[in-house]
Amino acid sequence: MPRDLADVLHYFLPELDDDPQPAADSEPGEPATVAARDAARGAAETAAGLAAPIEAPPDEPPAATRSPRSRAIETPPPLPILGIPSADRDVVRAALIWNLAVETARLGGRAIVLAPAVDEDSPLWPAPGTGPLGAELQLSPVHDLAELGRAAKALASDRGRRTRQGGAIFVRVPIQWIEADGPRSDVIDWWLVLTTAHRRDLAAATELAAAIDGRLERAEIGATIHGVSSIGEARGAFEHLARRCRDQRGLDLRSYGLLVDDLHVYRAIASQRPIGLAHPQAPATRALMDVASMLYEDARSRVLG
Amino acid sequence: MADFEWNVRPERASLRRAVRHALRDLDPGLRIVAEDFLSIRSRMDLLGVAEEGEIVSVRIGLGTSGEELLTRALADLAWLRPRAADLLKLVPGLGIEPSAEPRALLLSPDFDDETRAAVENLPLRTLELIGYRAYRQHGGLGVVLEPCKPRGAALRSPRRIGSEPEDPTRASRPTGFRTGLRDEDLRVEPEPDPRSGTPSSQN
């Protein structure tokens, strides 16, 4: 859906958070940052000749200068939701998901991992709540894909309202929920498949992408190759996977780089510490940062677009 | 099925993403900051800020005539010009230079002679025409960009692309795989040996 420039500029507005001069017409109790933003936006609109007279609702204070655009700025769109299929006991993929969230937070985005509550007693995750760099883990008592999607949307709306920097909701989706019979839905339309470069795993990833495409409407699917030791190995694996997806299902697969399963990953899993904090110079950390950057950039594009 | 296919019919969103990535090579100083922005009545496909702080509108023709693209791009320039200072005030981090004239990039598979001639009336770089060809390889959509050479002016593109599409069998062919890493980034740095303090050969 097209957006007006003024409706999305708040994604680039961190500098105004420190503006010490809130607008004179701000409402009592209104955050200074919003007031300053409205003032600046109002100035922009006035200068641009765009401001249209808007009648204030009867129950609002006399903020006649406020326009619908200012309200749009006060209520940012929901965060994009990224579904990541993972088996219930897949510790490695869970660790990669959590660490991608931490790296997204390091880039400045809001990053929340949402997982079914069935994970509560498993060793997949750290303790729920806010973790390193503000990355969050939320467990939700859901029982199927539709419920998980609704929980993700609610979380995306709630966290989207609280952030001006963008980010993403990373949802661990049990693979059996995708493969289960059910009506097609659009609860999650952005997916990331994590696969190794082994032929058997690539075949399974192809089936998984096909299952996602069969179950979810308008699904955009990306893939990250993990467990590789060279870029050439990852490139070859992705090209193989993308070719299979296109030939067999007509799917356009998007590349989200590669991840490394080096010793640091397993050490970090064992200690439940983010790899990027425990081993900031490790290849695994560099790769995580690279993939997180691509996801964060695409998340911003999805909101803006 | 062939791995490489020309003459694909991309959807606009995919094409926009492919162009966004291809522009990184063509104009490394251009930072795309937004997609699908409403201008006066229609949407700019991409909005960027270039090296000198000028705002750049990018319009991609997909079944659109050259005249229509040209009109919209000229309207974008008029729409952006009075907003540069306001955008700078709102978004200082983007590096917008309010005194810099906005520019526009028009992308189309082909431009007719009238469109090319019309653009030559404008100051250099105000409005640039770039031809594109979309291809699909290994499931990914990509584009080859070819700046249209104005009469009497040299190409300013840092990467000159021939009028014929590149041979897809060449080793440098584009790929859908993306990474910002190099093989050196994947090498494990030897950890110090706690006994001697020198890097260990293990690991």
Instruction: Give the dihedral of Cα atoms B166, B167, B169, B173; nearest 10 deg.
Output: -10
Please tell me which residue of chain A has the smallest CA distance to B32. A301
For A144-237, strand residue ranges (E) read 167-174, 190-195, 220-226
**A136 or B113, higher pLDDT:** A136
Return the minimum-mean-pLDDT range out of A289-293, B41-45, B148-152.
B148-152
The pLDDT tens digits of the residues spanning A217-256 come to: 889 999 999 999 889 899 999 989 998 898 888 888 999 9
Q: List chain A residues with CB under 8 Å of B35.
A: 301, 304-305
CA-based nearest residue in chain B for residue A4: B38
Q: Residue B34: its pLDDT value, please?
A: 86
Predicted confidence (pLDDT) per residue in A257-294, tens digit: 999 877 777 777 777 788 888 888 889 999 999 999 99
Residue B186 with chain A: CB contacts under 8 Å: 229-231, 260, 283, 286-287
Handedness of CA A206, A212, A217, A218 (dihedral sign): negative
**What is the distance between the alpha carbons of residues A259 and B144, in angstroms, rounded to a whole number?**
28
> Which member of B16, B90, B136 has the closest CB to residue A40?
B90
Tell me the range of A16-20, A145-149, B26-30, B125-129 where mean pLDDT is highest.
A145-149
Q: Which of A2, A8, A255 sits opposite B140 (nearest CB)?
A: A255
pLDDT recorded at residue B131: 92
Residue in B176, B187, B188 nearest the CB of A255: B176
Q: How far is it, in rounded angstroms, from Cα B97 to Cα B55?
A: 8
Report which of B99, B124, B95, B119 is spatially closest to residue B108, judged by C-alpha positions: B119
Closest-CA distance of chain B to residue A279, Å: 11
Residues B19 and B107 sit within 8 Å (Cβ to Cβ): yes
Considering only CB atoms, which residues of chain B are within 8 Å of chain A?
Answer: 1, 3, 13-14, 16-17, 33-38, 43, 47, 82-83, 85-87, 89-94, 136, 138-141, 175-183, 185-189, 203
B41 pLDDT band (50/70/90 cuts)? confident
Range picked from A30-34, A73-77, A129-133 for highest mean pLDDT: A129-133
Chain A residues within 8 A of B34 when measuring between CB atoms = 5, 8, 304
Cβ contact A179:A211 at 8 Å: yes
From the CA of B59, how many Å to the nearest CA of chain A? 14
Lowest average pLDDT, out of A56-70, B25-39, B139-153, goes to: A56-70
Give residue B188's pLDDT: 65
3-state secondary structure A252-265: CCEEEEEECCCHHH
| pLDDT (average), residues A7-12 | 54
Task: Calculate how close chain B gets to A124, using CA atoms only, in Å.
Answer: 26
What span, in angstroms and rounded, lies between the C-alpha atoms of A151 and A241?
A: 31
Cβ contacts (< 8 Å) between A286 and chain B: which residues?
Answer: 181, 185-186
Residues from chain A contacting residue B181 (CB–CB below 8 Å): 231, 257-258, 286-287, 290
**Are A257 and B13 in contact (CB < 8 Å)?**
no
- Tokens representing A125? 């995750």
pLDDT tens readout for residues A55-98: 333 433 444 444 444 444 456 788 999 999 999 989 889 999 99
* Cross-strand partners of A167: A110
Here the ipTM equals: 0.71
Report helix, strand or coil for A297: helix
* pLDDT, tens only, B48-91: 998 888 999 999 998 888 889 999 999 999 999 888 888 787 77
Q: Which pTM was predicted?
A: 0.55
Average pLDDT, chain A: 78
pLDDT given at position A260? 87
Q: How far is B183 from chain A (nearest CA, A)?
A: 6
Q: What is the structure's pLDDT at A304?
A: 57
User: For residues B57 and B69, what is the distance between their CA atoms, to the nearest angstrom?
Assistant: 11
Which is more confidently placed, B93 or B146? Answer: B146
* % of chain B with per-residue pLDDT over 70: 78
Beta carbons of A2 and B38 less than 8 Å apart: yes
Q: Is the pLDDT of residue B109 over 50?
A: yes
Q: Is B192 exposed, middle or buried (0-12, 13-18, 19+ CB in 10 A)?
A: exposed
How much is the pLDDT for A303? 67
Between CA B30 and CA B39, with CA B35 as vertex, the angle to 5 degrees is 100
- Residues in A closer than 8 angstroms to B179, CB to CB, are 231, 234-235, 255, 257-258, 290
Residue to test with chain A: of B88, B181, B182, B191, most A Cβ within 10 A: B181
The count of other CB atoms within 10 Å of the CB of residue A23 is: 21
Render pLDDT for A98-128 as a digit per residue (tens, 0 to 9). 999 999 999 889 999 999 999 988 888 988 9
Q: What are the tokens at B110?
A: 């082909």
Q: Residues A130-143: what's their mean pLDDT? A: 93
Mean pLDDT of B105-132: 89
pLDDT at residue A225 in the model: 96
Q: At residue B198, does pLDDT exceed 50?
A: no
B22 to chain A, closest Cα gap in Å = 15
